[in-house]
A and B are shown apart, each in its own frame.
Chain A
Amino acid sequence: MHAYANPTRFLALAKPLTAWLLVGGILFAVIGAGYGLFFAPADRLMGESVRIMYIHVPTVWLSMGGWTGIAIASIMQLVWRHPLAAVAARAIAVPGALFTAFGLITGSIWARPTWGTWWVWDGRVTSVLVLFFLYLAYIALANASGEKGGVSRVTAIFGIVGAINIPIINRSVVWWNSLHQKASITVSGSSIDNAFLWPLGFTVSGFSLIFGAIVLMRMRAILAETKIEARLRRMTAE
């Protein structure tokens, strides 16, 4: 990993990778969403509204995946002092918050016809709302830390502590009676019929690749910003 601690070497890799991830991601997402909207069957009970799943599942998956990424990057920052770790964590925070908001909004739209309500305070919905607030707090903390491109150690510690919410979200439907159904895809297999599963796989991979592309773009932007700041500082010093 430390081979890419050198920003120049990282940027040389990140630049072409961004384009590949973005193009591949859009391709996968369009195939999955298009098939899901127009060709996949309606659900036995939910009918046509099941199609929201093709957007809801990937966005919520990435909201949790995003914070897991922040936690891993925070550990790398604190333990190995990897110079790019803090940049990566900071880059994940904004798309992570955005995808969490998408997940909550699509979930709410799906809940209205399915459950009969826009919002419930059950374990799953509430813990995901908490995740959204954690993202907002992380962004505020990161912006206030003023470290060159990176984040302060307090922010990194917050990133690790906040990760406790991820297993809680995952287990919320098992530990507590909730209105949200239990996990459909577990280690023992999937209770989603294959007709739904294929387009879902496409949108999940597509959205994940797009998320990766956004993170790389933001990392490059943060690195470019620090470079400009350093140059300006040198110029004023001369």
Chain B
Amino acid sequence: MKAKHQRLTLAVLALVALIGAGLLAAFALKDQASYFYTPSDIATKNPEVGTAIRLGGMVEVGSVKKADDGVTVQFVVQDGTARQNVMYTGITPDLFVEGSGVVADGKLDADGLFIADTLLAKHDENYVPRELEGIDMSSTSKVEDTLVQ
């Protein structure tokens, strides 16, 4: 009986130490393990012009402008506090819509414009059937749709 209790105490202590260590490590990784910078991060950390960074946030509603060449888009990524102008040339993912999440690889130019090489769409945790949202995806270009959040 006594040996069993000893093992139980040992196991509980080991578990507590393990969880503590794991939490500390995860917390220390907070900045390094993040997949992207938010516009606020860029504003506070001031990354150098030309260094490769990844920017993530929401596409500001009404900010997407298509250039005349048809493949270049300019838009604003915001996180509620800061805004960042982004330019991307290429095919945008299906889920790239105003008011939705986006993650872009690229770098800042001298004027503070973010030049994106790749663009990934970030889906949020809401799953809504098409019928309920009342958006006809076939008739209009997605970029022009204004999503009511």
Within 8 Å CB of B96, what residues of A?
A: 116
Tell me the complex Cα distance, A183–B126, Å.
9
- For residue B100, CB closer than 8 A to chain A, the reply is yes
Segment at the A interface, from B12-20, B42-50, B63-71:
B12-20
Within 8 Å CB of B93, what residues of A?
A: 114-116
The chain A residue sitting closest to B122, CB to CB, is: A179
Residues of B contacting A: mostly: mixed
A-B residue pair count with CB separations less than 8 angstroms: 127
* Contact between A45 and B95, CB atoms less than 8 A apart: yes
Residue from the list B36, B127, B131, B135 in contact with A192, Cβ < 8 A: B127
Interface size of A by CB at 8 A reads 43
Known pairs A42-B129, A45-B123; A114 contacts B8 (CB<8 A): no
List residues of A whose CB falls within 8 A of some B CB.
41-47, 50, 53, 75, 78-81, 113-117, 120-123, 160-161, 164, 167-168, 171, 175-179, 181-184, 191-193, 195-196
List residues of B whose CB falls within 8 A of some A CB.
4, 7-8, 11, 14-15, 18-19, 21-22, 26-27, 29-30, 33-38, 56, 93-97, 100-101, 103, 118-133, 135, 137
Q: List 15 A-B contacts (CB under 8 A).
A: A44-B129, A78-B11, A79-B7, A160-B14, A164-B22, A175-B33, A176-B29, A177-B34, A178-B35, A179-B36, A181-B122, A182-B124, A184-B126, A192-B127, A195-B129
